[in-house]
A and B are shown apart, each in its own frame.
Chain A
């Protein structure tokens, strides 16, 4: 399967714990996005990477959130000291920018986080 993959698919944690999610984009894609979707709402932008550089972060991304893409391939999103309000679906998408590409974003299956 050469699509975007995310791990884990589901995570249940207790308030105050740290969690880390992983996203593996489509291999030749140079751009990677993280979005968050709460129940009944559309996704919201969190941050994005162009290769290994994190170029924009949303105001939604508090100091407890950190994202990395160390080698310009997979990315991790860490949430420290989780709160119940962090419960959501975390979606990753990747795209190819440059040349004749259309920058169409392809989505992973998401990681559903539940904070008890």
Chain B
């Protein structure tokens, strides 16, 4: 079992739909990151969370530390939101390296 699990692995929706991507983790963390990766590989950080909820534009990220679970929501989805969304747990010990989920490929159709 991976230390960070995301669901779903693939998600296709129509423009305007409300999107939820889930992330569960089993490691001790100091923060939880949500990242966006477009074709070509570049990774952009969307959120870094250690508790509660953050909002940026149409994106909302929540985390429940007790349940070791985080969600990324996209409201009023748009085709330009199509990308791979990756959840990454920053481990507490040592390197504070990121342990990544396998990613969720999101496709928003017009």
Interface residues of A (CB under 8 A from B): 33, 35, 37, 40-45, 48, 55-56, 89, 91, 93, 97, 102-110, 112
> How many of B's residues come within 8 Å of A, CB to CB?
25
9 pairs, CB–CB < 8 Å, chain A vs chain B: A42-B88, A43-B88, A43-B98, A103-B31, A103-B96, A104-B48, A105-B98, A107-B45, A108-B42
- Chain B, residues 73-110, CB within 8 Å of chain A (1/0): the string is 00000000000001010100011111111110000000
Given contacts A45-B95, A48-B95, contact A109 B101 (CB under 8 A): no
Given contacts A91-B43, A107-B43, contact A102 B31 (CB under 8 A): yes
- Residues of B within 8 Å of A37, CB to CB, are 41
Q: Interface SS of chain B: helix, strand, loop or mixed?
A: strand
In angstroms, Cα B86 to Cα A91, docked, is 14
B7 smallest CB distance to A (angstroms): 13
Write the chain B residue with the least CB distance to A55. B95
